[in-house]
Chains A and B, each alone.
Chain A
């Protein structure tokens, strides 16, 4: 605890409503302040993760997302504004985060996760969040996180449904235990509302906060599935695949 940064009076005031959360407290807040979180893509899911973590007072966000904002991103990419259409998405997003909480350091990388950057970006964080639409990105983040023994929160959704799990290397199965290949039928454009993507993002942000502050029970070894069509939420067990090429030799 002595290595953790102290809170300023301004920060104690800003975070006053959460400092009284049971199991969190001032030490939890200091842990957040000391932490770096990587978010892969700041779209409907990852943008909400970043917003929630900025509000909560994470020390440093590393945000990776390539490309410019399109009009049809705005049904769910809540960090962005209509005026930003055609602009680089990552720069639009960061303005909102800095306006919300200037204490948070935000580093932007105008790239998506690929073979060349996954290990390097994961190495810079304490916890990673995978919020992109491509299985190739998710599986690369998974491999880097397992090798570096970093927790990874993995997010997914479709229409009114969401899915979430947290990979804690050494303690839980990994994403490759569930998805041994990049599924050939997956299409990166799919039906979704912001109310769904931002629910997934808020749930993921809570996982990150719990992992860093050390309270609650992250979804290690469990998959959360929910359906906002009937508001049903369920967690089920997931098991390690004994022959998994990614996490097997780390068991």
Chain B
């Protein structure tokens, strides 16, 4: 199945693109999406998705179905074809 993935802030900079369609196995979870992306997107972007030990970044926010949740908390959310997943690395003021 295909899901639409949108990249924000440092992820967008590291990848050089704002969004793309990603092929995933049917009924893949948010965790599976993030692990697949981290394995294929290069280190610059991957560091915003997973820690050095391979866990999901605690402060990466993931928006699915208009709810933003830290990645670890919605890791088991099952995705459906056509879902839009927005990835927000932590940013701050200044």
Do these two chains really belong together in a complex? yes
List the A residue with the shortest CB-CB distance to B61: A178
- Give the CA-CA distance A133 to B92 in the complex, in Å: 5
Q: Is the CB of B68 within 8 A of A192?
A: no
Interface size class of B (residues with CB under 8 A): 20 to 34
Asked if residues A163 and B91 are in contact (CB atoms below 8 Å), the reply is: yes
Closest Cβ of chain B: how far from A82's Cβ, in Å? Answer: 20
For the complex, is A132 an interface residue (Cβ under 8 Å from B)?
yes
Interface residue range, chain A = 35 or more
Asked if B70 and A241 sit within 8 Å, CB to CB, the answer is yes
Kindly state the separation between the CA atoms of A41 and B59 in the bound complex, as whole angstroms.
23
A24-32, A87-95, A98-106, A179-187: which lies at the interface: A179-187
Task: Find residues 161-211 in chain A having any chain B CB closer than 8 Å to their own CB.
Answer: 161, 163, 177-181, 183, 185-186, 188, 190, 192, 197, 200
Within 8 A of A (CB), among B36-62: 47-48, 57-59, 61
Which residues of B lie under 8 Å from residue A177 when comparing CB positions?
A: 70
Q: Render B1-45 as a binary contact track against A, CB cut-off 8 A, 1 for contact.
A: 000000011101100001000000000000000000000000000
Contact B93 A185 (CB under 8 A): no
Considering only CB atoms, which chain B residue lies closest to A45 in the complex? B93
Note all chain B residues with C-beta closer than 8 A to A131: 93-94
Shortest beta-carbon distance from A192 to chain B in Å: 7
Given contacts A236-B66, A237-B66, A238-B67, contact A132 B92 (CB under 8 A): yes
Whether, in the assembled complex, A218 has its beta carbon less than 8 Å from a beta carbon of chain B, the answer is no
Cβ contact within 8 Å between A186 and B92: yes
B94:A133 contact, CB within 8 angstroms = yes
- A177 to B59 alpha-carbon distance, docked (Å): 10
Q: How distant is the Cα of A171 from the Cα of B18 in the complex, in angstroms?
A: 33
Nearest opposing residue in chain A for B52, CB measure:
A184
Give the shortest distance, in Å, between A8 (CB) and chain B (any CB): 34
A151 at the interface (CB under 8 A from B): no
Give 1 or 0 for each of B58-94: 1 = CB within 8 Å of chain A CB: 1101010011111001000000000000101111111
23 A–B contacts, CB within 8 A, in A order: A45-B94, A46-B93, A130-B93, A131-B93, A132-B93, A138-B93, A156-B91, A157-B91, A161-B91, A163-B91, A178-B70, A179-B58, A179-B70, A183-B57, A183-B59, A183-B90, A190-B94, A223-B61, A229-B18, A236-B63, A237-B66, A238-B69, A239-B67
Closest 7 CB pairs of A and B: A133-B94, A158-B9, A158-B91, A183-B90, A183-B59, A131-B93, A155-B93
- Which residues of A approach B to under 8 Å, CB–CB? 41, 43-46, 76, 130-135, 138, 155-159, 161, 163, 177-181, 183, 185-186, 188, 190, 192, 197, 200, 223, 225, 227, 229, 236-239, 241
Q: Contacts A157-B94, A180-B70 known; list 12 others, CB within 8 Å.
A: A76-B94, A132-B94, A135-B90, A159-B12, A183-B90, A185-B89, A190-B91, A197-B93, A200-B93, A223-B61, A223-B68, A238-B68
